[in-house]
C-alpha cells in the first residue's frame, strides 16, 4: 500500500507528478492558506507532509496526526516547525539548504543598494509627478563603495554576501555564534567582532541568522542606539530577529538612516507603520524568489520526502537522531 502524503501549498506540477508515482497525494494547487484546524484535517491520516513556512507544525498538531513520519519543509529555515516535538514523536524533519544561497545573497545586496540610494523613495516621487527639473542635491544617498558592512550570521548566505561586497571594496566585519575557520575568514576578508562593536563600526548591518529563542529581538532599541546615525539595517533573516516596533521608532527619530527589509514580525500581518516611512525599502519575503531557485527548493523537498518514506534516511535531515521511519 502506498504511503499517504499531503502537499500543503502549491508546488510545480512536474514535481507533484513525481510524488504521485510514489505516494497517495493530496495537494493544494489552489494555494489556499490552511488555518490550523484545516491543516490538522489535511494531515490527520498522512504519513508525510511537504510544508511551507506558513504551516505551523507543533505539539498540538502532532498529537492529532499520529501517522506522520516525515515533515519536509520547502525552505532552509524551519522555525515554523517544533523540531523537538517532532523528535520526541519520531517524526523526521528536513529542509532545503544550499540551493538558495546565491539568490538570497543577491536580494540582500539589492536591498543594500536600493536603501542606500533611496531607489523606492525616488521612484515613488517620480511616479507621483513631482520631477520638474534636475537638482544637484536630489535624493542624495549613502556611499556603498569603501563602506563597512557588518554581517550578523556568517553562514553560507552571509559569506556569499561578503564576496559580493568585496566587489565594492567594502570592509567586512562579522559576528557569528562561532568564529569562522581561518581559511573561510580569509576568503571573505572578514574581521570577527563582538556584536556591540560591529553595530558601532558598521555603515550597513546585515542580519542573516536563524530565528529562535536566542535570537528573538536580537536587534532592539538598545542595539539600534549603538548604530551610527548614518547606518542602514538590512534584514533578510527572519521576522522576530528585529523588534519591529523599536526599528520603526528609530527610523522615525532618525537614529539610523534607513532599513531594507525582506522579513517582518507576524508576516504577512506586519506592522503597517512601516508604510508611513520613506526611509525603508519593503519587499514581501522574496529572498529566494527566482524560478530556478524555487524549483531547486521544491525538488530538494520532493527528494527528501521520497527518501524519508522509502529508506528512512533523507539527505537533509534536521533532527538526525530520528534515523528510521516509525
**Active-site residue, selected from the candidate residues 42, 255, 285, 317:** 285
Pairing of strands 48-51, 70-73: parallel
Pairing of strands 204-207, 148-152: parallel
Q: Of 238, 255, 265, 317, which is the active-site residue? A: 238
Whether 9 is catalytic: no
Length of the chain as a residue count: 326
Whether 285 sits among the annotated catalytic residues: the reply is yes
46 carries an active-site annotation: no
Distance CA 28, CA 39 (A): 11
N-term to C-term CA, the chain: 16
Lookup: cell for 297: 527548493
Which grid cell is 168?
565594492
Long-range contacts of 211-218 (CB under 8 A, 24+ apart): 211/77, 211/79, 211/237, 211/238, 211/239, 211/240, 211/241, 212/79, 215/240, 215/241, 216/240, 216/241, 217/241, 217/242, 217/243, 217/246, 218/152, 218/242
Contact 24, 309 (CB under 8 A): no
Assess contact for 278 and 121: CB atoms under 8 A.
yes
Active-site option among 185, 201, 265, 267: 267
The residues that are catalytic are: 238, 267, 285
Amino acid at each position: 500500500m502506498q504511503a499517504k502524503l499531503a502537499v500543503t501549498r502549491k508546488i510545480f506540477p512536474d514535481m507533484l507528478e513525481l510524488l504521485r508515482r510514489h505516494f497517495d497525494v493530496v495537494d493544494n494547487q489552489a494555494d489556499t492558506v490552511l488555518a490550523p484546524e484545516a491543516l490538522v484535517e489535511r494531515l490527520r491520516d498522512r504519513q508525510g507532509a511537504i510544508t511551507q513556512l506558513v504551516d505551523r507544525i507543533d505539539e498540538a498538531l502532532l498529537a492529532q496526526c499520529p501517522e506522520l513520519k516525515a515533515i519536509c519543509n520547502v525552505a532552509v529555515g524551519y522555525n515554523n516547525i517544533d523540531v523537538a516535538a517532532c523528535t520526541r514523536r519520531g517524526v523526521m524533519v528536513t529542509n532545503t539548504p544550499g540551493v538558495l544561497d546565491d539568490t538570497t545573497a543577491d536580494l540582500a545586496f539589492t536591498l543594500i543598494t536600493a536603501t542606500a540610494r533611496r531607489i523606492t523613495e525616488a521612484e515613488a516621487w517620480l511616479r507621483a509627478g513631482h520631477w520638474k527639473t534636475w537638482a544637484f542635491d536630489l535624493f542624495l544617498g549613502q556611499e556603498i563603495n569603501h563602506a563597512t558592512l557588518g554581517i550578523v550570521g556568517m553562514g553560507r548566505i552571509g559569506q556569499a554576501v561578503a564576496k559580493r561586497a568585496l566587489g565594492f571594496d567594502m570592509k567586512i566585519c562579522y559576528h557569528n555564534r562561532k568564529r569562522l575557520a581561518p581559511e573561510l575568514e580569509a576568503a571573505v576578508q572578514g574581521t570577527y567582532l563582538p556584536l556591540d562593536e560591529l553595530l558601532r563600526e558598521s555603515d550597513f548591518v546585515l542580519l542573516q541568522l536563524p530565528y529562535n529563542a536566542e535570537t528573538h529581538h536580537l536587534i532592539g532599541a538598545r542595539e539600534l542606539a549603538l548604530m551610527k546615525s548614518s547606518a542602514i539595517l538590512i534584514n533578510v533573516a527572519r521576522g522576530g530577529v528585529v523588534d519591529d516596533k523599536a526599528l520603526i521608532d528609530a527610523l522615525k527619530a532618525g537614529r539610523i538612516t534607513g532599513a531594507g527589509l525582506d522579513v517582518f514580525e507576524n508576516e504577512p500581518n506586519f506592522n503597517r507603520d512601516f508604510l508611513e516611512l520613506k526611509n525603508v525599502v519593503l519587499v514581501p519575503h522574496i529572498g529566494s524568489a527566482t524560478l530556478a531557485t524555487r524549483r531547486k527548493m521544491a525538488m530538494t523537498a520532493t527528494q527528501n520526502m521520497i527518501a524519508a518514506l522509502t529508506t528512512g534516511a533523507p539527505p537533509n535531515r534536521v533532527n538526525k537522531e530520528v534515523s528510521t521511519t516509525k
